[in-house]
Amino acid sequence: MLGIVVGLVVLFGGGWLFFALAEYMRGEAANFVGLALPLLYLGGSIALAVRDDTRRFGSGLLLAIGAALIILAGVCFGLLFMLAGHG
Amino acid sequence: MIPLPYPGNDLVHGFWVGLGVVAGLVWYALEKRRLRLHDDRLWVLAGMAVAFGALGARLLTWPAALDPSRTSSLLEWWTLGNRSILAGLIGAWIGVWLGKRLTGYREDTGELFAPAVALAMMIGRVGCLLTENPGTPTGGGWGMVMTAEQAERLGGVPGVGLNPSFLYEIAFHAVALTLLLRWRGRLAPGALFRLYVAGYALFRFAVEFVRGNEEVWFGLTRPQWFLLAVSPLLIRSVLRALRAPAPIHPETRSRWASG
């Protein structure tokens, strides 16, 4: 449960922060950050989920990104990618 | 005839899909507890299924576009492209497979996942029923109806009764859920989930004829071509599961059957 809450906070907080900072970045930098952040989150979640002592937390992070993508229909990430691509 | 209540409303669609996902996860958790399966790796598999299912629903439809001239960039497809339940199921399957490889979990999980997936799809499809183009004309004085403006926005035929194809799908998942609960513990490990997926594939191929999706080749839609392409794998998978001998884990099996 903690992983889900932290995951949602990170996803929404990170997305909001990215939008706030993206206008100050160059196009290539925004593009790179916009693509790297979700991949970093996913990779980090899997790495935590595989370790015995952080398994539940990592699973929560995975559930959070899945739920966020499904429920919000990818709108947030879509905007993030779009901004990164055209920024 | 019944008017389409929330045409194109992403909020309503998202609410029902979200409710479906939450219901599926709650079911999964309750089943896990009922079967006294305390292995935390099962949560990793659930997380991988949801995460990769969500990613697959969007990304796997990108190369599936059969018309190369209309295939857009990955970025454009991500933001504006189709989402597909079928692609989501494939993504979830890949996620669970990858999760098992990474965590070393060996036991079959199909019977744990199948009813949860059926429940999630049954609820999630309500969102589609309320917001999307219902289907092809029924040819009679019954069905769901769209105004000209809604039909132009969502695609479809205005002013006539349309097949409520998503209602058919909800009914399919309701029947499937009932059968899954009745048959659990009675088949070889993995057979139940494979039968459910195969049944859904057959149903989906049939319902596509009244879904109203674009016909791309020989009168068949993209999902139908996709299903035809994966059908050999699906048939092989079902046959292998049905031929499997005794349950691998008798103690777990007895718990499945007793529920």
Helix runs in chain B, H state only: 10-34, 41-59, 74-80, 85-103, 110-131, 148-154, 165-183, 191-211, 222-243, 250-258
Q: Does B28 map to a domain?
A: yes
Whether B57 is in a domain gets the answer no
Tell me which residue of B190, B181, B179, B184 sits closest to B241, measured CA to CA. Answer: B190
pLDDT at B96: 92
State whether B48 and A46 contact (CB < 8 Å): yes
Would strands B215-217 and B144-145 be described as parallel, antiparallel, or unpaired? unpaired
- Contact: B18, A71; criterion CB under 8 Å: yes
Asked, for residue B55, whether it belongs to a domain, the answer is no
pLDDT band at A86 (very low <50, low <70, confident <90, very high): very low
Q: Does residue A51 sit at the B interface (CB-CB below 8 Å)? A: no
Residue B65 domain flag: no
- Rounded CA-CA distance B154/B52 in Å is 28
In a domain, B90, yes or no: no
Q: Are B188 and B245 in contact (CB under 8 A)?
A: yes
Cα torsion angle, B127, B128, B132, B135, sign: negative
What's the whole-number average pLDDT of chain B?
A: 84
What average pLDDT does this structure show over B80-97?
82
- Which member of A42, A58, A73 has the closest CB to residue B14? A73
Residue B80 lies in a domain: no
Whether B198 maps to a domain, the answer reads: yes
Per-residue pLDDT of B90-146, as tens digits, reads 889 899 999 999 998 888 888 889 999 999 999 999 999 999 999 999 988 889 999
Q: What is the average per-residue pLDDT within B158-182? A: 94
Q: What angle do CA B24, A15, B58 make, to 5 degrees?
A: 50
**B75: pLDDT strictly greater than 60:** no
In chain B, residues with a C-beta closer than 8 Å to the C-beta of A62 are 44, 47-48, 50-51
For B141, list phi and psi in degrees, rounded to 5.
Answer: -90, 30
What's the rounded Cα separation, in Å, for the pair A59 and A75?
Answer: 23
Which of B21, B258, B207 lies closest to B124, judged by CA? B21
Q: Tell me the residue type at B91.
A: G
Tens of pLDDT, residues B6-31 = 888 878 888 898 899 899 999 999 99
Which one-letter amino acid corresponds to residue B72? S
A chain contacts of residue B17, beta-carbon cutoff 8 Å: 70-71, 73
State the Cα–Cα distance between residues B192 and B197, nearest whole angstrom.
9
Structural domain harbouring B226? 2-39+105-258
Cβ contact, residue pair A70, B25, below 8 Å: no
Backbone dihedral region of B142: left (phi > 0), alpha (psi from -120 to 50 degrees) or beta?
beta
A1 interfaces chain B, CB cutoff of 8 Å: no
Distance from CA of A16 to the nearest CA of B (A): 17
Chain A hits for B53, CB-CB cut-off 8 Å, are 66, 70
Quote the pLDDT of residue B59.
75
Cα angle B144, B222, B121 (rounded to 5 degrees) comes to 55
Compute the distance between CA of residue B136 and CA of residue B6 in angstroms, rounded to an integer. Answer: 18
Beta-ladder partners of B2:
B144
What's the Cα-to-Cα distance from A71 to each of A75, A76, B15, rounded to whole Å? 9, 11, 7
Strand partners, B217: B220
Higher pLDDT residue, A67 or B76? A67
**What is the pLDDT confidence band of residue B167, given thresholds at 50, 70 and 90?**
very high
Query: Which of the four pLDDT bands, split at 50, 70 and 90, describes residue A74?
Result: very low
Tell how strand B2-3 and strand B220-221 pair up. Answer: unpaired
Question: Domain total for chain B?
Answer: 1
Average of per-residue pLDDT across B202-213: 93
Structural domain includes residue B163:
yes
